[in-house]
């Protein structure tokens, strides 16, 4: 049985996929461009290189380590 958090997480991820697909359709941007813009918009970029910010965000997402 799924816990409440697992259920919410699954539903949220499902919605994110739908939103990214819709943004791709409307803006003609690639999936990676949309994700890069989202990361920058969330404050991952302050005075850093975009590639470094994306790398840090992915590392945190995949490993759970703090930035």
Predicted TM-score (pTM) of this structure = 0.47
Buried-exposed string 23-47: b where 16+ CB fall within 10 A, e elsewhere: beeeeeeeeeebebeebeeeebbee
Contact assessment for residue 23 and residue 38, using Cβ atoms and an 8 Å cutoff = no
The structural domain count of the chain equals 1
Structural domain boundaries, residue 28:
4-63
Task: For 21-57, write each residue's pLDDT tens digit.
Answer: 888 888 888 888 888 777 776 765 565 666 776 677 6
Could you give the CA distance from residue 5 to residue 12 in angstroms, rounded to a whole number? 10
Task: For 6-22, write each residue's pLDDT tens digit.
Answer: 544 556 667 778 888 88
Could you give the CA distance from residue 20 to residue 22 in angstroms, rounded to a whole number? 5
């Amino acid at each position: 049985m799924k816990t409440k958090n697992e259920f919410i997480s699954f539903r949220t991820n499902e919605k994110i996929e739908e939103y990214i697909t819709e943004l791709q359709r409307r803006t003609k941007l690639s999936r990676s461009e949309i994700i890069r813009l989202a990361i920058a918009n969330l404050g991952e970029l302050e005075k850093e290189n975009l590639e470094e910010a994306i790398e840090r965000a992915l590392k945190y997402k995949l490993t759970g380590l703090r930035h």
